[in-house]
């Protein structure tokens, strides 16, 4: 069986929960041809990406999907691209707040996801859950993880992608999505990997 590492984040900012980890926790241990390995990440620049690489290499992951909260979005958004930039409007959970900092000095400006993001967004939409491809993962910790992973696994067989999810209903925001829908969208995304 192939191995898929899926990560979610701890809460950050003013939030008490992070829908990314809540949804990842709801996933079964097997989805299509993949055994599912779950990892909780700190919302900390550098450290989150380092932990993903350590775990992925330990289990010899074939696919890595990181999931994060994008509050204010109203759809499941597979990210097309990670950019070589850190710029934080708020502190991360260790008190870091980089401003216009390069992630990898001398690295490419951007790397594209190696997941079939359009197909995944189409499949999620067809199931009745709103989804669209996103062209920016921001410049906070989620983009830091996506860019670092894409750079690290470039020219390897390991597929890497990132999916941002809306607030979940439990967070009491105007724009939100039920956790069951978020978890189901992640299952569909995994089923959509070529």
Active site residues: 79, 142, 164
What string marks each residue from 87 to 126 as x (binds ligand PCA by CB under 6 A) or -? ----------------------------------------
Only one of the segments 98-106, 116-124, 135-143, 178-186 lies at the binding site for ligand PCA (rule: CB under 6 A); that segment is: 135-143
Closest to ligand PCA by CB, 11 or 130: 11
Closest to ligand PCA by CB, 27 or 43: 43
DSSP per position, 149-194: HHHHTTTSS-EEEEEEEPPBGGG--SS-B-HHHHHHHHHHHHHT--
Residue 162 lies near ligand PCA (rule: CB under 6 A): no
Only one of the segments 12-20, 95-103, 122-130, 149-157 lies at the binding site for ligand PCA (rule: CB under 6 A); that segment is: 12-20
How open is the CA angle 63-185-83, to the nearest 5 degrees?
Answer: 55
Residue number of the CB closest to ligand PCA reads 142
When binding is defined by CB under 6 A, the residue of 66, 69, 114, 171 that contacts ligand PCA is 69
Spatial distance between the Cα atoms of 5 and 153, rounded to a whole number of angstroms: 14
CB of 137 vs ligand PCA, minimal distance in Å: 7
CB of 19 vs ligand PCA, minimal distance in Å: 8
Residue 9 lies near ligand PCA (rule: CB under 6 A): yes
For residue 132, give every residue at least 6 positions away whose Cβ sits within 8 Å of its Cβ, in sequence order, or none: 75, 77, 121, 125
**How far is C-alpha 52 from the geometric centre of its chain's CA atoms?**
11
For residue 22, give every residue at least 6 positions away whose Cβ sits within 8 Å of its Cβ, in sequence order, or none: 8, 168, 170, 179, 182
Closest to ligand PCA by CB, 24 or 63: 24
Task: Fill in the DSSP letter of residue 143.
Answer: H
The neighbour count for residue 156, using CB atoms within 10 Å, is 9
Only one of the segments 26-34, 64-72, 107-115, 128-136 lies at the binding site for ligand PCA (rule: CB under 6 A); that segment is: 64-72
Spatial distance between the Cα atoms of 140 and 126, rounded to a whole number of angstroms: 30
- Which chain residues interact with ligand PCA by CB under 6 A? 9, 12, 18, 20, 43, 68-70, 138, 140-142
């Amino acid at each position: 069986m192939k191995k898929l590492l899926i990560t979610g984040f701890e809460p950050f900012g003013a939030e008490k929960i992070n829908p990314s980890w809540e949804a990842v926790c709801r996933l079964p241990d097997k989805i299509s041809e993949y055994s599912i390995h779950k990892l909780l990440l700190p919302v900390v620049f550098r450290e989150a990406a380092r932990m993903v690489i350590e775990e992925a290499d330990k289990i010899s992951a074939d696919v890595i999907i990181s999931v994060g909260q994008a509050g204010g979005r109203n759809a499941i958004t597979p990210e097309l691209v990670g950019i070589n930039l850190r710029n934080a409007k708020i502190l991360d959970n260790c008190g870091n707040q980089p401003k216009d900092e390069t992630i990898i000095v001398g690295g490419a400006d951007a790397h594209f996801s190696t997941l079939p993001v359009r197909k995944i967004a189409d499949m999620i939409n067809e199931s009745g859950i709103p989804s669209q491809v996103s062209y920016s993962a921001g410049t906070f910790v989620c983009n830091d993880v996506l860019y670092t992973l894409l750079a690290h696994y470039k020219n390897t067989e390991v597929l890497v992608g990132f999916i941002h999810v809306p607030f979940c209903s439990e967070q009491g925001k105007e724009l939100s999505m039920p956790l069951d829908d978020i978890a189901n969208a992640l299952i569909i995304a995994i089923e959509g990997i070529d």
